[in-house]
Every structure is written in C-alpha cells, then in structure tokens.
Amino acid sequence: MKEYDEVELLKDLPEERLVKGQKGYILEIYNEQYCEVEFSDLNGTTVYLGALPIEILKIVDKK
C-alpha cells in the first residue's frame, strides 16, 4: 500500500460509523501497521479522517 491508493474496509467499525466495503483513500503511511485514511460520502464530504490499521484495509482493484 502507498499514499493515495484507494482502499476498501474489510470490517465494520460502528464506533467510527464505517461499514465493511466502504471505500476511501490513504493519505499517509505512518508505519508498517497504521495509515491515515479518508472516507467521504457521495457528495465528497469527509465522513471519517483518521488512523486505521493497515490489516483491515485492502487495495481496490482498478479494472
């Protein structure tokens, strides 16, 4: 994973109001375990911006 990759959430995070399958973008890689991710709604408004474990994210395959 690298900065600006589109990622998909692999599990629900109800405390953050995020659901499995939600897509966002990596803004910064902190270390091997955590990165800063931004999730937006359909209008482009940020609904979550924060650090998440890399292990609960997967890169979206661009076909």
Total domains present in the chain: 1
pLDDT of residue 63 exceeding 80, the answer is: no
Determine the pLDDT at residue 40: 96
The enclosing domain of 17 has a CATH number of 2.30.30
Q: How far apart are CA 17 and CA 41, in angstroms?
A: 12
Domain range for 14? 6-59
14 part of a folded domain = yes
Residue 60 has a pLDDT of 96
| Residue 1 counted as domain residue | no
Question: pTM for this structure?
Answer: 0.89
pLDDT, one tens digit per residue, over 3-62 is: 999 999 999 999 999 999 999 999 999 999 999 999 999 999 999 999 999 999 999 987
Q: Is residue 19 part of a domain?
A: yes
